[in-house]
Structure 1
Amino acid sequence: MTRDPAASGPPPEEAGGVLTIDLGALVANWKSLAAKAPGAACAAVVKADAYGTGIDRTVPALARAGCRTFFVAHLSEGARARAAAHDADIYVLNGLLPRTGQAYVRDRLRPVLGSAQEIAEWAAFTAAEGVRIEAAVHVDTGMNRLGLSVPEAIATGEAGLRGCPVNLLMSHFVSAEEPENPINARQLDAFAAVRRAFPSFQGSLANSSGVFLGASAHHDLLRPGYALYGGNPQPGAANPMLPVIGLEGRILQLRWVEDGDTVGYNATWTARGSRRIAVISVGYADGFPRAASASDGRHGADAMVGGVRCPFAGRVSMDLIAVDVTEAPRDLGRGDPVSLMDPAISVDHVASSAGMSGYEVLTSLGRRYARRYVD
């Protein structure tokens, strides 16, 4: 059999599940977000293996669509992004670890400098090596993780960075997905004040949800991540993004359980009447959250089976999920697909059923799936 060149992982006929990544939807989401701020450029955050979708495939698709700037978390991710986008600007969000300058030069990566010590080390390194790779400076406007404090940044000013190649000033929203949260206004004001101390630098503040906070959040460069991959950047409202992820598990066995029978570990789910159960070859070892389990007192996640929404039955185990398919078509058989994520069952639904964030679900997608890329 000839393998599909757009596939990766084990062959679909040998895999317990098939993960489909729609590169066309990914690109459409990027274009949609870019259109929200026509005066700004739109980057793409591709850390965590492009949120589980695969840097090696998503970065080239976005680059072909016109994306010229990418953000990763680690140097190793930067190297993979560089191999996939030879001419792009690639920033490493986690900053400059000691004595890693040569790695930035080797792969033409740009560090995001988050402290006076990092700034000094980058300035000394680039001067000693005679190289000019422009970096970004990260200012903490409220997250209290990485970055210069606002007073520290203003006191440094543009003059304080003379001799250190920097072209971008950036910060990160704390609660952009909550438009009414007053911390958004405080961060907007703080970042505007910092930018006045760096009049020739470009600015970047808006993450996925920040894109929807309006022009005051846009600045020169948008940095969407989660929304690119189909996650809802506006919780509580209709999702404006196209779904990118599809996940199917395969039926290993169909069985009937009778009224009062239990299913799964610790007997947490009890059949109410005679129920037909499909056992699916996907589990938490594949990155599907165990917390999406169902019990007598909790609904858990759902699956789409033959066009019918069917509830989970019992706990998600390491390699298996049981689904109550009593209401699904009766012509199901061993090996048939069951949809665990699709346009009807979004990554946000799975996350909500597990008490998690969609970011966790996406970035946990396992390597045992057959991966299928479509455009």
Structure 2
Amino acid sequence: MPKAKETVLEIDLGALTHNFNYLKSKLKPTTKFLAVVKAFAYGSDSIEIAKHLEHLNVDYFAVAYTKEGVVLRDAGIKTPILVLHPQPVNFNTIIERCLEPSLYNAKVLNAFIKIAEEQSQANYPVHIKFNTGLNRLGFWENDVDYVVSKLKTTKSIKVKSIFSHLAASEDKDEIEFTNKQIEFFKLISKAFENHIGSKPWLHLCNTSGVLNYSEAHFDMVRCGIGLYGFGNSAKENENLFPVASLKSVISQIHKIEKGETVGYNRAYKAKGFEKTATIPIGHADGISRIYGNENGYVKINGCKAPIIGNVCMDMIMVNISDINCKEGDEVILFDAANKASDLAESANTISYEIITSISQRVKRSIIK
């Protein structure tokens, strides 16, 4: 592969295919696969990712907000799209663009019914979310009767699925809690089905749920981080390929004497004669200030170069005193060999945060 000549995020669609097929291999043939492509497909490129997954016959997409779904529709995506956190102000747009809302409390349920009736909709597909322990969004168990009573007053909407979200499916210390969530979800779903007289799809599992709780796959699963190459465990990370690689170049090399300082607020002081390299990427590109002051690092010619001083808006400086390199050489922030999860751990954060933070001003390069 050609070396980077500027800051670029390379997106490997072959890795995406591998991850999709690996996760699907964990499912029964009848279990549907929903791909989560929110937040620019976890910081990559939602349009390219969605188009490729559509080509692979994915069953559903999910986005966080209405605008993200509109972007996919504008790009020609035809696959059903679930909007996980819709706001009532966007309900007209949701219907206009054939998006499907998650309805998670009385306010949004009533507001969507009102809009659907005003637009003379019939059996518009909606998804009812219940809270089983994450305590973020969702109706409570004792809301089942209320939800059903509202549904029986209108023909404008029809429940396509009932779903919830696992809170700690990757954590072996929380197996008991997760099992309680699964059983709670079963009870809620059964009560709902008994009241409404039909059987909507059920879905509960995220990536870690898919990998760790096969008994809870139900009718559909929702995979996000796993599609992009991370399985939330060292073992599963070996079975998945990171889709995104963030690369840059050395813009300039400096030689500094003992006691000289580097960057804003003179945050780094040279311990002796040292060489530093300046790289054109900064916190405006998604490399947070938490990676500064030797918390994070880059790879140059296979060697670790710690980030020194404070991360600037558009640049970082790294210590290359022991590295044989020159201006224009490629710099790896993360790739398949030097994973984003490793860089994230160096600053006590998670892979989700760094990959979803990559700014849209960083050039995307699609590898097909």
Same fold (TM over 0.5): yes
Alpha-carbon distance in structure 1 between the residues aligned to 2:112 and 2:278: 55
Residue of structure 2 equivalent to 1:204? 203
Deviates more, 1:260-269 or 1:135-144: 260-269
Alpha-carbon distance in structure 1 between the residues aligned to 2:235 and 2:292: 23
State the AA in 2 paired with 1:55.
S
Going from structure 1 to structure 2, the CA distance change for 1:314 and 1:96 (only over 3 Å counts) comes to closer
Root mean square deviation of aligned Cα:
2.2
Q: Which of 24, 27, 30 is matched with 2:17 structurally?
A: 27
State the AA in 2 paired with 1:45.
V
- Does structure 1 residue 168 correspond to structure 2 residue 161? yes
Residue of structure 2 equivalent to 1:216? 215
Residue of structure 2 equivalent to 1:259? 258
TM-score, normalized by length of structure 2? 0.89
Structure 1: unaligned runs, 5 residues or longer = 1-11
Residue of structure 1 equivalent to 2:36? 45
Deviations 1:312-345 (A, max 9, x none): 222211111111222322xx33222211111232
Alpha-carbon distance in structure 1 between the residues aligned to 2:110 and 2:65: 20
- Asked if the contact 1:43/1:222 (under 8 Å) is kept, the reply is yes
Alpha-carbon distance in structure 2 between the residues aligned to 1:161 and 1:204: 20
TM-score, normalized by length of structure 1? 0.87
Q: Which of 43, 49, 53 is matched with 1:58 structurally?
A: 49
Alpha-carbon distance in structure 2 between the residues aligned to 1:130 and 1:307: 59
- Asked if the contact 2:50/2:77 (under 8 Å) is kept, the reply is no
Overall identity of the aligned pairs, in %: 30
SS of structure 2 residue aligned to 1:19? strand
Going from structure 1 to structure 2, the CA distance change for 1:82 and 1:324 (only over 3 Å counts) comes to same
Structure 2: unaligned runs, 5 residues or longer = 194-198
Residue of structure 1 equivalent to 2:170? 177
State the AA in 1 paired with 2:265.
N
State the AA in 2 paired with 1:233.
N
Shift, 1:310, TM fit: 2.2
- Does structure 1 residue 134 correspond to structure 2 residue 125? yes
Deviates more, 1:155-164 or 1:241-250: 155-164
Deviations 1:198-252 (A, max 9, x none): 3411111111222122222211111111221223422686543201111112211
Going from structure 1 to structure 2, the CA distance change for 1:96 and 1:197 (only over 3 Å counts) comes to farther
- Does structure 1 residue 306 correspond to structure 2 residue 301? yes
Shift, 1:367, TM fit: 2.6
Alpha-carbon distance in structure 2 between the residues aligned to 1:348 and 1:80: 28
State the AA in 1 paired with 2:172.
P
Point out 4+ residue stretches in structure 1 off by more than 4 angstroms: 156-160, 235-239
SS of structure 2 residue aligned to 1:373? strand
Deviates more, 1:112-121 or 1:203-212: 112-121
- Asked if the contact 1:19/1:247 (under 8 Å) is kept, the reply is yes
State the AA in 2 paired with 1:365.
I
Q: Which of 75, 83, 89 is matched with 2:74 structurally?
A: 83
Q: How many residues align?
A: 354
Alpha-carbon distance in structure 2 between the residues aligned to 1:196 and 1:320: 55
1:327-338 to structure 2, matched below 5 A, reads 327-329=322-324, 332-338=325-331
